[in-house]
Amino acid sequence: MLKLTGVGKRYPDGLAALEGLDLTIRDGSFTSIVGPSGCGKSTLLRLIAGLAAPTEGAITGLDEGSIGLVFQDATLMPWADVFANVYLPFRLAGVSRVAASPRIEEALSLVGLLDFRGAYPRALSGGMRMRVAIARAIATKPRLLLMDEPFAALDEITRNKLNDDLLRLWREGDFTTIFITHSVFESVYLSTDIAVMTARPGRIFARYEIAGPTARDSEFRASAVYLDGCRAVSRDLERVMSMGAP
């Protein structure tokens, strides 16, 4: 269980991005975080990833070195082919190509891109590039997958397809996912848990558990659970946005 207690982050210029943030993430959950633009969502993810340290409070329950990260843009190395891009985290850990190869091939086949192992990023569509980034993040079998608006730049059909692919990976895998999105619909469709943040300085405004099947499909989009969830989260977002900065 990942636990954030009284977490604050003040940047060196004095700006308080987060303040008094308490959040518990259940092991194995798919937790989405939604909140107004600039409320500190990416900051929160960077703290959880250990890329920055909180200036107040504590984060406990983290498993060192077992985190996969996916950002909004796929952040692939353009000069390296798909295989080499997915190899990167292994290379950084000092694992040889040969030793990493089975894991890389497994991850690429999970995202449906094994045939593209020799392709370069420029030859791939945006959706395919994002799949490579996801393969790279899950190839090392992390316990925690952190995603910062990974599908925001994609068209709706590709996004829906990747949503379903991601859910399948999460169901079949054995990891916790923390997913940042601006889309209320996406958050309710994907999640077991949702945290709504206030405007900056961000803290948690509301929490939801989305009941219903973990297998989500078009039927789920028509269900009362889904529609009620969307309504509640939308209403919260309107509230926190009208509250503005304190």
Interaction mask 175-214, ligand ATP, x per CB under 6 A: -------------------------x--------------
Binding piece for ligand ATP, criterion CB under 6 A, among 7-15, 115-123, 139-147, 170-178? 7-15
CB nearer to ligand ATP: give 33 or 167.
33
CB nearer to ligand ATP: give 15 or 227.
15
CB nearer to Mg ion: give 41 or 131.
41
Q: How many CB atoms lie within 10 A of CB 172?
A: 8
Binding piece for ligand ATP, criterion CB under 6 A, among 12-20, 22-30, 78-86, 102-110? 12-20
Interaction mask 27-56, Mg ion, x per CB under 5 A: --------------xx--------------
Residue found under tokens 């269900």: 223
- Contact with ligand ATP (CB under 6 A) among 1, 6, 15, 102: 15
Q: Which of residues 34-93 bind ligand ATP (CB under 6 A)?
A: 35, 37-43
Nearest to 235 by CA among 20, 34, 45, 29: 34
CA atoms within a 13 Å half-sphere pointing along the CA-CB vector of 42: 9
Q: Any idea what DSSP says for residue 152?
A: T
Instruction: Kindly state whether residue 17 participates in binding ligand ATP, applying the rule CB under 6 A.
Output: yes
Name the minimum Å distance from CB 31 to ligand ATP: 16
- Contact with ligand ATP (CB under 6 A) among 1, 6, 11, 239: 11
Nearest to 139 by CA among 113, 105, 166, 114: 105
Name the minimum Å distance from CB 38 to Mg ion: 8
CB 89 within 8 A of CB 136: yes
Q: How many CB atoms lie within 10 A of CB 183?
A: 18
Q: N- to C-terminal Cα distance for the chain?
A: 31
Distance in angstroms (rounded) separating the CA atoms of residues 40 and 93: 30
CB nearer to ligand ATP: give 103 or 200.
200
**Residue 102: its H or E element:** helix 97-110
Radius of gyration of the chain (CA): 18
Distances (CA, A) of 106 to 95, 100, 109, 160: 16, 10, 5, 23
The residue ranges that bind ligand ATP (CB under 6 A) are 11, 13, 15, 17, 35, 37-43, 200
The residue ranges that bind Mg ion (CB under 5 A) are 41-42
